[in-house]
Amino acid sequence: MIDDRAMRLATFNLENLELGSRARVDFAQRAAVLRPALERLRADILCLQEVNGQHVAGVEHRQLLALDRLIEGTPYEDFARAVTTSPGGEGISDVHNLVTLSRFPIVRHHQVRHDLVAPLLHTSITAKPGGGTKTEVTLDRPLLVTDVVLPDGNELSVINVHLRAPLASAIAGQKSAPFVWRSVSGWAEGFFLSALKREAQALELRLAVEEILSADPSRLIAVAGDFNAEDHGPTLQLAVAAEEDLGSSELAAHSLVVLDRAISADRRWSVLHHGREQMLDHILASRALYGHFRSIEVHNEGLGDEALGYGKGLHSAASYHAPVVAEFDVKIS
């Protein structure tokens, strides 16, 4: 039986939470299905992805109006929050912000984007024009590192992530429509660049974890979000840094644990694509936090098939990602 006094940490990709004319689905319709899903999580710490920012008359920077309206009247309304900013650092971005909400005090937060991994240089192969020129490959989104103080006085570092999706990046002159390519070679180069970005983000994540553990080897760390990658592939392999990959038992304490491995195989999926069940959203824990781990759930009962929906031009009122929530025996009352 779930103990309400235990800490619950969740992740949920809301998929372009927006208001007004920029919203793919009317906000009221989305709120009617998203709000109950959020309330069911009963999260004490909630990592959200794809939260869009809106303009407010007379205010210089964008605000999270859509999120404010979504959580109005819920316990999350009064939670502390940390938010990513635009690449220039001038307020939040118009799309795809990361937001971490916490019942517990947030003592510090920062974002990591090319702080540990420099932009990569790529020589264009198929671009028209521009073939043969060197360009910088930059990361689409940062990582959001948030430190919260738990009721027992310990600090928990929560890293909210949204890694690059396995959709080919744009190549100059190689597309005739958003999902229509002019050549196989152009698509292949674009797909390669997206994979490069995703692995670079995973590398920066791993390096960020190493920085935290170097300062405090017994640090409680949770990494949660949309990895756009399944378990045992190179992206998760890089983030986890398993003992068998390191070839060193001395470094085993630095490995992260993929908590969703505790979910039964028939339930372990957060995205449905052409009928194929995929676990793309994960919660990872440091060894110290793993000692407090109790249970994990994925709320996929009402999840639709994203490929079928997109094929019909349907944008889900909910999300094509299921939320994931883990429970730890860190008492909150």
Query: Distance between CA 87 and CA 244 in Å, rounded?
Result: 37
Is residue 146 very low, low, confident or very high in pLDDT (cuts 50, 70, 90)? very high
Lookup: tokens for 87:
């690449």
Query: Distance between CA 226 and CA 321 in Å, rounded?
Result: 9
Contact 102, 116 (CB under 8 A): no
β-pairing verdict for 271-273 and 276-278: antiparallel
pLDDT above 70 for 165: yes
Tens-place pLDDT, residues 256-303: 999 999 999 999 999 999 999 999 999 999 999 999 999 999 999 999
Query: Distance between CA 28 and CA 46 in Å, rounded?
Result: 22
pLDDT above 60 for 226: yes
Is residue 44 very low, low, confident or very high in pLDDT (cuts 50, 70, 90)? very high
- pLDDT value at position 1? 38
The residues pairing with 97 across neighbouring beta strands, listed in sequence order, are: 51
Q: What is the pTM of this model?
A: 0.96
Query: Distance between CA 161 and CA 289 in Å, rounded?
Result: 18
The helices-and-strands tally (H runs, E runs) of the chain is 7, 18
Most confident of 80-89, 102-111, 122-131: 102-111
- pLDDT value at position 313? 84
Query: Distance between CA 303 and CA 199 in Å, rounded?
Result: 27
β-pairing verdict for 293-298 and 324-328: antiparallel
Instruction: List the Cα angle 289/259/325 in 5-degree steps.
Output: 90
- pLDDT value at position 333? 60
DSSP state letter for 24? S
Closest CA to 298 of 258, 269, 259: 269
The alpha carbon torsion through 301, 39, 290, 248 (nearest 10 deg) reads 60
pLDDT above 80 for 109: yes
Average pLDDT over residues 87-98: 90
**Largest Cα span, the chain:** 62
pLDDT above 90 for 87: no
Q: Note the helical H segments in 25-108.
A: 27-41, 65-71
- Domains of the chain: residue spans and CATH: 7-328 (3.60.10.10)
Taking the mean position of all CA atoms in its chain, how far away is CA 101?
13
- pLDDT value at position 147? 98
Contact 200, 120 (CB under 8 A): yes
Start-to-end C-alpha separation, the chain: 17
- pLDDT value at position 4? 54
pLDDT above 90 for 330: no
Contact 163, 235 (CB under 8 A): yes
- pLDDT value at position 314? 86
Side chain identity at 8, as an amino acid letter? R
Neighbour tally for 173: CB within 10 Å:
15
Closest CA to 222 of 306, 102, 61: 102
**Residue % of the chain over a pLDDT of 90:** 90
Q: How many CA atoms lie within 13 A of 104 on its CB side?
A: 26
Average pLDDT over residues 39-47: 98
Lookup: tokens for 260:
């969703």
pLDDT above 70 for 3: no
Query: Distance between CA 235 and CA 32 in Å, rounded?
Result: 34
Neighbour tally for 195: CB within 10 Å:
17
- pLDDT value at position 73? 97
Average pLDDT over residues 223-247: 98
Find all residues with CB under 8 Å of 325, minimum gap 6, and list them: 8, 9, 10, 11, 41, 42, 43, 296, 297, 299
Is residue 332 very low, low, confident or very high in pLDDT (cuts 50, 70, 90)? low
